Amino acid sequence: MGEKLTHAMESHTAFIINLFGFKIPVSDLVVTMWIIMAIMIVLAIFLTRKLSLIPNKRQNIAEIIVEFINNMVKDAIPHHWKAFAPYLGTVMLFLVLANTVSIFNIIPGGEEGFKLRPPTRNINVTICLAVMSICVVIYAGIRYKGVGGWIKSFVKPTPVMLPFNILDYLIKPTSLALRLFGNILGAFIVMELIYMALPIFAPALLSCYFDLFDGILQAYVFMFLTSIYISEALE
């Protein structure tokens, strides 16, 4: 059981690309993220085709998703929400699919074959997402305060806070990355143990929480915290 769990947690090479004499290994994590991005692109094209003043069913679905995201961002960033809603919405939708992708694991291949596993169980993926988000936070502060105003914010409300405010920009992405990584990896390990130990029907029921509910919740938390950090940078 231990070997099976270790194998499931590790990232494996899906295939190798030969480019100008160099062999570039492509991991299953990268392939899974490519699949997720392809799904998002196809859905975006499908749901936004032939937009009209009288929406059809596809347009209604698109408008519900956009309005839901806009309302959440607007609550956290009241004045400049339009500038950041596209990024925050895209990250949230990506994380919803990335965190819950294992419930669509219908590709055959046995234990050694390719399986859809959440890419966010890998710390490198969550670090990249966290760094992207903190870059957006820094951009927000510089864009709406100016370079001088953003630099001055490090010594507010008192110059004594300078080292703490600098440290804050290191703690925020670290907490974003570790929180997402820890929760998704923990849920993934629990589900792998359940798959190994229990009959087929029990994992299906428990997957509704560990794969679906928890995955969506962590996507929302990541987006919510990022929007709060952006709001703080604008104050």
Neighbours of 173 (CB within 10 A): 21
Domain assignment present for residue 190? The answer is yes
**Runs of H (alpha helix) within 77-213:** 81-100, 123-152, 162-197, 201-207
* Cβ atoms of residues 210 and 179 within 8 Å: no
Token representation of residue 165: 């405010």
Walking along the chain (235 residues) 10 residues at a time, the average pLDDT comes out as 57 78 84 92 88 82 90 89 92 92 61 72 92 94 89 85 88 93 84 72 68 87 93 87
One-letter amino acid for residue 119 of the chain: P
Domain assignment present for residue 163? The answer is yes
What pLDDT, on the 0 to 100 scale, is given for residue 108?
43
Query: Looking at residue 49, what DSSP letter applies?
Result: T
Partners of 16 in the beta sheet? 25
Domain assignment present for residue 213? The answer is yes
Boundaries of domain holding 186: 65-111+118-234
Domain assignment present for residue 226? The answer is yes
Sign, CA torsion 16/10/203/212: negative
What pLDDT, on the 0 to 100 scale, is given for residue 110?
46
Domain assignment present for residue 71? The answer is yes
What pLDDT, on the 0 to 100 scale, is given for residue 133?
94
C-alpha–C-alpha distance, residues 43 and 47, integer Å:
6
pTM of the prediction? Answer: 0.84
What pLDDT, on the 0 to 100 scale, is given for residue 89?
93
Domain assignment present for residue 123? The answer is yes
What pLDDT, on the 0 to 100 scale, is given for residue 234?
87
Domain assignment present for residue 49? The answer is no
The HSE-up count of residue 147 (CA atoms within 13 Å, CB side) is 0
25, containing H or E segment? strand 22-27
C-alpha–C-alpha distance, residues 15 and 27, integer Å:
7
Number of domains present in the structure of the chain = 1
Domain assignment present for residue 84? The answer is yes
